[in-house]
Each structure stands twice: as C-alpha cells, then as structure tokens.
Amino acid sequence: MSKIVGFVNQKGGVGKSFTSKVVANALSARPRNKRILLIDCDEQATSVAMRKRDIEVLRSEEKPIEFSYPIATCLPADLPAVLAGKKPLQIITEAGPISCEFDDNKYDYTFVDMPGRGQSNDIFALLASLDYAVIVIKGNDSETLSTLDFLKIIDRSQKLRTSHGIELLNLALMYNEFENTTIYQNTVRFWEKMKSKHGILKEILYLSSKETYKKYDNTYSNMLHELRSNKSLEGLHKEFSSFVVKLTNFLEA
C-alpha cells in the first residue's frame, strides 16, 4: 500500500511545492528507485505548472521527455474520494492531462502538495487522508505563530481520527531556507521543546538558505547526483543527503 505523505502548512510561500518536488526527484532516482506519485492540491498548481514547463524545456532542447514519477492534480476536498478510487486523477503528460484511477499498489509514496489556503472542511478532508505530514515552515516569528495556529487544526484532526479509530497522523517539522540567526535559533529551541516535552513532532528537519538549491527547482533533476558531481558543493551535498536520509527514516519508522 502507498504511504500518503503531505507537505503541509496553511500558509503560502513557505516551500511546500519546492520540498515535495526535490524530495520526489531524489527518492525516485537511483539507487532508491521509489515509486512516487505527486498530487498537486494547491489552487496555484505550482507543481503542475512546473511539470508543464519542464516538458517544454526538454522539448526545446530536443531531449527525451522522461520523468521518474508522475504529477497529478485534484481539489483538496476530492482527495479522499480520489484515494478511494471513487474519483479520477488528472495526470499531467506531454500530450495533455490524462484521467486515471488511483492505484494504491502502484506507488511506494504518494506525496500531497497542500494548498496555502482553503476552506476548513477541505483542509480537514485532506489531513484525514494522510499517513504522514511534513509541516514546512520558515523560521521567523510570524511563521511560528501561523504554524501554531495550523497545529491547532492538526490537533482537532487528530482527535477526530481517534474518535473514528484511525491511526494518528505522524508529524515532522521542516525548516526551509534555515539560517543561523538569533530568530531561527530561538524558534528551533521552541520546536525542539515541543518535540521533547509534548511528543507532537517525531522529527525536525532542516535545509539551509542556499541559492544553489533553487537551481534544481524542477521536476526531473536529482539534486543528490547534481551536488555530488561538483566538489565545490560538497557541503550542500552532505546537508541535502542528511536531510533525505532523515526524512526517509521518518517515513519508514
């Protein structure tokens, strides 16, 4: 059965789409070769737009239009029905969108890119469909306050899962564009305290604020391979490799 993994936060611009893509790129490539489906539930359809752009880029460069995982789209409210096979997915292809039924046995991981905004019922429906959630944030005060508000929504979702006899959602926090500043360090201490004292979070992950990472913001580059092949980027390769290992361990725990 596919593990349903959401990259979530009810705030736009924190890097949910970026993170879901670079992780899908890394895990679907050799040597891991994970079978991944990425479902874009964001109203901005960032991942879908990126796949369409990448198709055009590869076509213009006369390169094979091949990807290691498919990207599909659906509305947040439709996600439970889609995962149950009651509504079709729209898979983005070179020839255009193709309607197909979700196959739970076809993928190791199904990544869900959550919208930055949405109706509360839609968000609850999306959260109820997940097995794992990676809460993506940046480390300033406003982001922390926004994420605390989002955790209240998750807490309500957890209580609903308990009342219906559904296993609790596994939670991790991910700092996107982490910087070694006083503000970031203060928020890190806050979240580490939340993790150790309250057991809300099972893992805290970090990616630094490096412009190099943004060069691989597409739906086909395996950043692990690209960074490893450049000796001047050895530090970034070590950081991203550690991030992928920790995230994989979280998903396999």
User: What is the predicted pLDDT for the residue at 189?
Assistant: 80
Using the predicted structure, report yes or no on whether residue 10 has a pLDDT greater than 70: yes
pLDDT band at 83 (very low <50, low <70, confident <90, very high): very high
**Average pLDDT taken over every residue of the chain:** 89
Q: What mean pLDDT is predicted for residues 120-133? A: 91
Domain 3-252 class, CATH top level: alpha beta
Which pTM was predicted? 0.93
The string over 27-49, giving b where at least 16 C-beta atoms fall within 10 Å of a residue's C-beta and e elsewhere, is bbbeeeebbbbbbbbbeebbbbe
* For the chain, domain boundaries: 3-252
Q: Determine which of 7-16, 82-91, 183-192, 210-219 has the lowest per-residue pLDDT on average.
A: 183-192
